[in-house]
Amino acid sequence: MSGRPQIGGARQTFAPWDDPAARPLVRFEGVSKGFDGAVAVDDVSLSIYEREFFALLGPSGCGKTTLMRLLAGFETPDAGRILLEGRDLGPEPPHRRPVHMMFQAYALFPHLSVAENIAFGLKRQGVARAEIAARIEEMLALVKLEGLGRRRPDQLSGGQRQRVALARALAPRPRILLLDEPMAALDKKLREETQFELMALQQTLGTTFMIVTHDQDEAMVVADRIAVMREGRIVQVGRPVEIYEAPADRYVAGFVGDVNLFEGRIAACEGPLIRLATDDGALDAEGAGVVGDAAWLAVRPEKVAVHTEPPADGRNRLAGTVLDYGYLGDWTTYLVETRPGRTIRAARANATRTLLRPLGCGDPVWLTFAPSSAVVLTK
Amino acid sequence: MGRGPSAFNIVSVVLGLAFLYAPIVILVVYSFNASRLVTVWGGFSTRWYAALFQDRQMLDAIWVTLRVGVLSATIATVLGVIAALALVRGGFRGRLALAGGIYATLVMPEVILGLSLLLLFVAAGLPRGFWTVTLSHATLTLAYATVVVQARLRSFDVGLEEAAQDLGCPPWKAFVLVTLPVIAPAVAAAWMLAFTLSLDDLVIASFTSGPGATTLPMRLYSQVRLGVDPKINAVSTLLIGLVATGVIAVYLVQQRDERHKRLGLGHT
């Protein structure tokens, strides 16, 4: 992350990826995979560290599931290698890899009870009977399903099945647990609860987790680091705060959260600040670039302040009228038209119970944002 | 929907059932006839059943039929499962041709199948008898077994097999420990269907059987030509009972399987 400002560094103590001496648990080296001529994974190199909660984020069809299946052994790379603790996994079939997967549709064995499902992997490892019984109890307690060991999968709710799938994959103590859209089938409320439980579980066990998801909120909540994928390639790898506050390009900025983009040319560089000449006037933001190059200024809606009175003169000031707004309860998002055809999103936290809304459609407003709250992107 | 069936509905159902089952009911009733004359009711008796169990030839025929049925149904089911796997999972060229080849025997006239098998056995110099009938019945019933298993495999979630492999099973073991138990009802149904088909077959058995391997339908047919003996009613009743049990069992097993699937076992 050289050249970029370090953000939120104080709270983060777990960062083996910044330690040049740390050995990655899993390493993808130039891995590519195609299906019938279409490229699914394109020259991906990636390191995942012990105890890390790693998220692969991208829209459907971006190759994230294929990348996970390559690690599980269900697909064979066309090029490149996948290493686990420095050992090439290439020749090993799925059943010999110490990598377990929680399937999206859970894939619970319908003819076996919950306990037998959990014991399945342990039996294959030849674990002793008494040990298996103990491990089943331990796993049931871990996923809070005590007493349900004798049930069949069809006698469980969706959330319970998800927990059984998790327990089954964790029981044989994998070196890394792969989770394929683990919460896709749960409703919003349950999904949020489960996200926090999953994080707590990962902390308790210290197992490395790799999750595949298309839900950026989910990735932001659970992951230590996120890899954003697009069309088989990894666009950016970083901590959630880096992905959100210092996106590598316009694609990442737009995929993770909302963003306002201003297209222009770099007019001047003053230390960490860049002045961009745009159709909305000269705007300042942080970043790096070469004078004269095309660039984009990106600023998140919640970093754009909305004023009802003209603010004191300063940088990054835009006048407009409220075109529309959306009240979300905790936030209100305003769509402000600064000139015909140009709208900017600004979000305000509803910190007080303003039952009489202070702003409505057609009201004149002024928008400002601090140069340090915006970032210049060159891609 | 509170209205019951109309008079027309009732009449048509009664007539339809009568048309289908009256001959069978008559046969079953007359199997308990005390009289030797098939057309005269002489009171209730089980003497023909007793006589049947004295008839060495008839017992031999029953024994041959059961052995042929069990063996041919087993061969057809094993091959049917393999063929269904190839048809559903295999990504090889010529899969359509294989499917066509298998289904063709469903519509092939039995006489032609029987004749061609006979020619094959003659050409190969195989003595006709128990094994040739068994093999021929396996050929006849293979297509049916394949269709039944294939239908189930199509709705089987391959994710289950992947999960088993992921948890440490080599592919063959994943099949044995997960796929086979899950599709077991369909496999059982395929076996029972094959067994029942083998049990009724007269045409193919007539072509491919030899001395010492007379099946029950062959025995019945040859006896009827000499005049109807009430023992035939008795043995036919037993045969109907066996076939009906098989058909009902298949139906029940499939119903249970359907119900399981409808409950949604985490896969679609």
Distance from the Cα of A87 to chain B's closest Cα (Å) equals 19
- Segment A243-268 shows an average pLDDT of 86
Residue A260: partners with Cβ closer than 8 Å, 6 or more residues away: A298, A299, A300, A301, A304, A344, A345
- Segment A88-105 shows an average pLDDT of 88
List of chain A residues whose C-beta atoms are within 8 Å of the C-beta of residue B258: none
User: What's the confidence (pLDDT) of residue A168?
Assistant: 92
What percentage of chain B carries pLDDT values higher than 70? Answer: 94
A154 near B CB under 8 A: yes
d(CA B98, CA A102): 36
Task: Show the domain range for B81.
Answer: 54-267
Residue B258: partners with Cβ closer than 8 Å, 6 or more residues away: none
CA separation, residue A373 to residues A49, A203, A299, A368 (Å): 31, 32, 7, 10
d(CA A79, CA A70): 11
Of the pLDDT bands very low, low, confident and very high (cuts 50, 70, 90), residue B261 is low
Mean pLDDT of chain A: 85
B33 found inside a domain = no
d(CA A47, CA A22): 11
CB B50: neighbour CB atoms within 10 A? 11
Kindly list the structural domains of chain A, giving each domain's residue range(s) and its CATH number in brackets, ordered by start: 20-252 (3.40.50.300), 259-377 (2.40.50.140)
What is the length of chain B? 268
- Looking at residue B135, its amino acid is L
d(CA A91, CA A83): 11
Least-confidence region, from A104-108, A276-280, B198-202: A276-280
CA separation, residue A167 to residues A69, A121, A135 (Å): 20, 11, 10
Interface contact A124-B168, CB threshold 8 A: yes
233-262 in B: which are within 8 Å (CB) of A? 260
Mean pLDDT of chain B: 86
- What is the distance in angstroms between the CA of the first residue and the CA of the last residue of chain A? 17
Question: Looking up tokens 């690690």, which residue turns up?
Answer: A71
> What residues form DSSP beta bridges with A285?
A274
Question: Looking up tokens 């909120």, which residue turns up?
Answer: A217
Interface contact B263-A168, CB threshold 8 A: no
B124 near A CB under 8 A: no
- Segment B256-268 shows an average pLDDT of 55
Pairing of strands A53-57, A225-230: parallel
B256 found inside a domain = yes
Of the pLDDT bands very low, low, confident and very high (cuts 50, 70, 90), residue A355 is low
User: What's the confidence (pLDDT) of residue B263?
Assistant: 54
User: What's the confidence (pLDDT) of residue B136?
Assistant: 93
B160 near A CB under 8 A: yes
List of chain B residues whose C-beta atoms are within 8 Å of the C-beta of residue A153: 265-266
A222: its two tokens: 């659970």
3-state secondary structure chain A: CCCCCCCCCCCCCCCHHHCCCCCCCEEEEEEEEEECCEEEEEEEEEEECCCCEEEEECCCCCCHHHHHHHHHCCCCCCEEEEEECCEECCCCCHHHCCEEEECCCCCCCCCCCHHHHHHHHHHHCCCCHHHHHHHHHHHHHHCCCCCCCCCCHHHCCHHHHHHHHHHHHHCCCCCEEEEECCCCCCCHHHHHHHHHHHHHHHHHHCCEEEEEECCHHHHHHHCCEEEEEECCEEEEEECHHHHHHCCCCHHHHHHCCCCEEEEEEEEEEECCEEEEEECCEEEEEECCCCCCCEEEEEECHHHCEEECCCCCCCCCEEEEEEEEEEECCCEEEEEEEEECCEEEEEEEECCCCCCCCCCCCCCEEEEECCHHHEEEECC
Each residue of B11-43: pLDDT tens digit? Answer: 999 998 888 888 888 888 888 888 877 778 888
What percentage of chain A carries pLDDT values higher than 90? Answer: 12
B9 found inside a domain = no
Give the strands of the sheet with A79-84, arranged side by side.
Answer: A38-48, A26-35, A79-84, A87-88
CB A354: neighbour CB atoms within 10 A? 11
User: What's B44's DSSP letter?
Assistant: B
List of chain A residues whose C-beta atoms are within 8 Å of the C-beta of residue B167: 95, 100, 120-121, 124, 168-169, 172
User: What's B135's DSSP letter?
Assistant: H
User: What's the confidence (pLDDT) of residue A324?
Assistant: 86
Distance from the Cα of A263 to chain B's closest Cα (Å) equals 46
Distance from the Cα of B154 to chain A's closest Cα (Å) equals 16
Each residue of A41-64: pLDDT tens digit? Answer: 888 899 999 889 999 998 888 888
List of chain A residues whose C-beta atoms are within 8 Å of the C-beta of residue B268: 105
Interface contact A110-B169, CB threshold 8 A: no
Interface contact B159-A105, CB threshold 8 A: yes
Who among A94, A153, A161 is closest to B166 (CB)?
A94
Interface contact A161-B167, CB threshold 8 A: no
- Segment B251-257 shows an average pLDDT of 77
Whether B150 shows a pLDDT value over 70: the answer reads yes
List of chain A residues whose C-beta atoms are within 8 Å of the C-beta of residue B168: 95-96, 121, 124-125, 172
Question: Looking up tokens 């030839």, which residue turns up?
Answer: B57
Question: Looking up tokens 């289908």, which residue turns up?
Answer: B20
- Segment B52-74 shows an average pLDDT of 90
List of chain B residues whose C-beta atoms are within 8 Å of the C-beta of residue A168: 163, 167
A119 near B CB under 8 A: no
Q: Which of B167, B172, B258 to mutate to test the interface with A (most CBs of A within 10 A)?
A: B167
B20 found inside a domain = no
Each residue of B172-191: pLDDT tens digit? Answer: 999 999 999 999 888 988 99
User: What's the confidence (pLDDT) of residue B111?
Assistant: 92
Who among B181, B182, B265 is closest to A154 (CB)?
B265
A171: its two tokens: 């029981």
User: What's the confidence (pLDDT) of residue A60?
Assistant: 85
Whether B166 shows a pLDDT value over 80: the answer reads yes
Of the pLDDT bands very low, low, confident and very high (cuts 50, 70, 90), residue B76 is very high
Contact (Cβ atoms closer than 8 angstroms) between residue A174 and residue A99: yes
Whether A67 shows a pLDDT value over 70: the answer reads yes
B211 near A CB under 8 A: no
What's the total number of domains in chain B? 1
Contact (Cβ atoms closer than 8 angstroms) between residue B230 and residue B173: no
A74 near B CB under 8 A: yes
Interface contact A161-B266, CB threshold 8 A: yes
Distance from the Cα of A108 to chain B's closest Cα (Å) equals 7
d(CA A193, CA A187): 10
Whether B267 shows a pLDDT value over 60: the answer reads no
d(CA B62, CA A184): 58
Q: Which residue of B has its CA nearest to A156?
A: B265
List of chain A residues whose C-beta atoms are within 8 Å of the C-beta of residue B174: 95
B170 found inside a domain = yes
Q: Which residue of A has its CA nearest to B263?
A: A154
Whether A6 shows a pLDDT value over 50: the answer reads no
Who among B166, B181, B264 is closest to A111 (CB)?
B181
Higher pLDDT, A55 or A188: A55
Interface contact A101-B160, CB threshold 8 A: no
CA separation, residue A19 to residues A14, A16, A23, A159, A225 (Å): 10, 5, 9, 38, 15
Whether A212 shows a pLDDT value over 90: the answer reads yes
Interface contact A153-B266, CB threshold 8 A: yes
Whether A307 shows a pLDDT value over 90: the answer reads no
CB B151: neighbour CB atoms within 10 A? 16
Of the pLDDT bands very low, low, confident and very high (cuts 50, 70, 90), residue B266 is very low
Phi, psi angles (nearest 5°) of residue A167: -60, -40
Mutual angle of helices B230-262 and B180-200, in 10-degree steps: 160
List of chain A residues whose C-beta atoms are within 8 Å of the C-beta of residue B160: 107, 109-110
Whether B120 shows a pLDDT value over 50: the answer reads yes
B35 found inside a domain = no
Whether B71 shows a pLDDT value over 60: the answer reads yes
B205 found inside a domain = yes
Of the pLDDT bands very low, low, confident and very high (cuts 50, 70, 90), residue B143 is very high
Whether A5 shows a pLDDT value over 60: the answer reads no
User: What's the confidence (pLDDT) of residue A7?
Assistant: 46
From the number of C-beta atoms within 10 Å of its C-beta (0-12, 13-18, 19+), residue A265 rates as: middle
- Looking at residue A123, its amino acid is K
CA separation, residue A155 to residues A141, A181, A191, A214, A245 (Å): 19, 23, 21, 29, 45
A100 near B CB under 8 A: yes
Interface contact A111-B169, CB threshold 8 A: no
Which run of H or of E encompasses B103? helix B95-107
d(CA A326, CA A335): 8
Least-confidence region, from A11-15, A66-70, A130-134, A168-172: A11-15
B202 found inside a domain = yes
Whether B1 shows a pLDDT value over 70: the answer reads no
Interface contact A95-B267, CB threshold 8 A: no
d(CA A264, CA A291): 11
In this prediction the pTM is: 0.77
Q: Which of A101, A132, A178, A186 to mutate to test the interface with B (most CBs of B within 10 A)?
A: A101
Of the pLDDT bands very low, low, confident and very high (cuts 50, 70, 90), residue A117 is very high
Contact (Cβ atoms closer than 8 angstroms) between residue A344 and residue A331: no
Least-confidence region, from A80-89, A294-303, A306-315: A306-315
Interface contact B265-A95, CB threshold 8 A: no
Least-confidence region, from A111-115, A325-329, B78-82, B120-124: A325-329
Q: What is the CATH number of the domain that holds B185?
A: 1.10.3720.10
- Segment B130-150 shows an average pLDDT of 92
Interface contact A109-B178, CB threshold 8 A: yes
The per-residue b/e assignment along A52-83, b for 16 or more CB within 10 angstroms, e otherwise, is bbbbbbbeeebbbbbbbbbbbbbbebeebebb
User: What's the confidence (pLDDT) of residue A55?
Assistant: 92
Each residue of A125-158: pLDDT tens digit? Answer: 888 888 899 989 988 988 888 888 888 888 888 8
Higher pLDDT, A127 or B75: B75
Whether B126 shows a pLDDT value over 90: the answer reads no
User: What's the confidence (pLDDT) of residue A54?
Assistant: 92
Over its C-alpha atoms, chain B yields an Rg (Å, rounded) of: 23
Q: Which of B160, B166, B178, B259 to mutate to test the interface with A (most CBs of A within 10 A)?
A: B166
Whether B262 shows a pLDDT value over 80: the answer reads no
Q: What is the largest CA-CA distance in chain A?
A: 76
- Segment B88-101 shows an average pLDDT of 81
- Looking at residue B28, its amino acid is V
